[in-house]
Amino acid sequence: MKVKFRFQSKQSASLRMLLFLVLQGVAVGLGTPAPQRSQDPVAAHTPLPKVECWVFNVEFMNCTWDSSSGPQSTNLTLYYWYRGPPKECSRYLFTGALTSGCWFGSKDIKLYDNFNVELRAPGRHFKQEMKLQDLGMRAGERGVGSRLGGEWLFLFFL
């Protein structure tokens, strides 16, 4: 079965990425309650995974962690900050019933400030600092053109 989607506006880049994530099995919890925390003695000795963030055309950002890196039977919580006090993620991404990331809207993205995250589990935490300007992805261009000039190949976007 073949399914085709056609988007007409530039604002659809966000929709395409959201659709891609949903089709990959990651559900966005919009306005979801805080994840339930459980006490698991096995998980208490498992190191917390690294957080990876991607900024999509400065419209939104996904920060995810690899929950397959070990037995993760508890939900992890993400706190973030730039210069102020830490805030908990307000829109978690889920893989099954467990948190696997956080979605940020454009108002939460400050490209040129250091972005700090802390992943927390009962009795454990892991802090990271990132530079968001290095983690960006642009929306797709309509086409690419090229021109050969001497020893150089020039590429340009249409």
CATH of the domain at 115: 2.60.40.10
In a domain, 2, yes or no: no
In a domain, 95, yes or no: yes
What pTM was computed for the model? 0.60
In a domain, 138, yes or no: yes
| Cβ atoms 64, 55 nearer than 8 A | no
In a domain, 3, yes or no: no
In a domain, 17, yes or no: yes
Q: CA-based Rg of the chain, rounded to a whole angstrom?
A: 19
**Is residue 33 pLDDT above 70, yes or no?**
no
Q: Who has greater pLDDT, 66 or 28?
A: 66
In a domain, 7, yes or no: no
Would you state the pLDDT for residue 13? Answer: 53
Per-residue confidence at 148, pLDDT binned at 50, 70, 90?
confident
Would you state the pLDDT for residue 146? Answer: 78
In this structure, the strands spanning 136-137 and 51-56 are parallel
Q: Which domain, by its residues, includes 61? A: 12-157
In a domain, 21, yes or no: yes
Task: Tell me which residue has tokens 């973030």.
Answer: 80
Would you state the pLDDT for residue 47? Answer: 78
Four-point Cα dihedral 69, 24, 55, 14, nearest 10: -160
Question: What does the pLDDT look like over 84-95, one tens digit per residue?
Answer: 999 999 999 998
In a domain, 5, yes or no: no
**Is residue 26 pLDDT above 90, yes or no?**
no
What total of structural domains would you count in the chain? Answer: 1
Would you state the pLDDT for residue 70? Answer: 57
Per-residue confidence at 82, pLDDT binned at 50, 70, 90?
very high
Alpha-carbon distance 81 to 88, whole Å?
Answer: 9
Q: Who has greater pLDDT, 116 or 34?
A: 116
> How would you list the strands of the sheet with 60-65, edge to edge?
27-28, 92-95, 98-105, 60-65, 51-56, 136-137
